[in-house]
Amino acid sequence: MQVAVGLADAGGLESLSMRKLAQELGVEAMSLYYHVKNKDDLIDGMVDVVFSEIVLPSPGEDWKTAMRERAESARAVLARHPWAIALMRSTPGAATLRHLDATIGCLRTAGFSPAMAGHAMSLLDSYVDGFALQEAALPLDEAGGITEATEDVLAQQQMMSHAFPNLAEIAAAYILQPGYAFGNEFRFGLQVILDGIEAAHAAKEG
């Protein structure tokens, strides 16, 4: 599975085939079917490998700290494996189930009801997946900024007689400032979500 993951990382999921994987492994393509039923089964196993890289909550760890570490870890993992972003909710394997069970256990130990634990996980996972998808699509530079793309927008705006003044304002006052990185938006949003979950949990369970 690790070899298949490496191929997908290098060329995208569309570049992966059973024949190419067999060549990388130095075996006949048909021999792969002793281990997986088909390409879909292979992809399910690859997603399970990706899930195994995400940090698991530690026993007794504060739920808010654990969920923050889990979210940040998941974002980093998906940045390494962008092909997996849209597939993370596919057929779960052993590592996926272990990960979900540990996450639920952390929340339940913290006093979350089953419903509230489900709400928290759904909200956090939707945010992480959505941010990772957006991050993968943006033309980020090595520092995580979007200076070049923003400067292009500003140049177009100037030629269009300041048609987009609000966009120009936020670009000049925020995005083009030294030290800006799109990744910082993730931490801001994650904090807002965690605080919201904490408030909802206190109101519901208090």
Report pLDDT digits (tens) over 33-88.
767 778 888 888 899 999 999 999 988 899 999 999 999 999 999 999 999 998 88
pLDDT for the residue 149: 61
Contact residues for 45 (Cβ-Cβ < 8 A; gap 6+): 1, 4, 36, 93
The whole-number pLDDT of residue 65 equals 97
Reported pTM: 0.82
Please determine, for residue 203, whether its predicted confidence score (pLDDT) is greater than 80.
yes
Predicted confidence at residue 22, as pLDDT, reads: 78
In order of their start, the domains of the chain are: 57-138+182-205 (1.10.357.10)
> Is pLDDT at 204 greater than 60 in this prediction?
yes
Please check whether residue 20 is in contact with residue 11, taking contact to mean a CB–CB distance below 8 angstroms: no
pLDDT score at 107: 96
Q: With a cut of 70, say whether residue 154 has pLDDT above it.
A: no
Q: Which residues contact 85 (CB under 8 A, 6 or more apart)?
A: 78, 129, 132, 133, 136
Is the pLDDT at 180 greater than 70, yes or no? yes
Distance CA 138, CA 134 (A): 6
The answer to whether 142 and 204 are in contact (CB under 8 A) is no
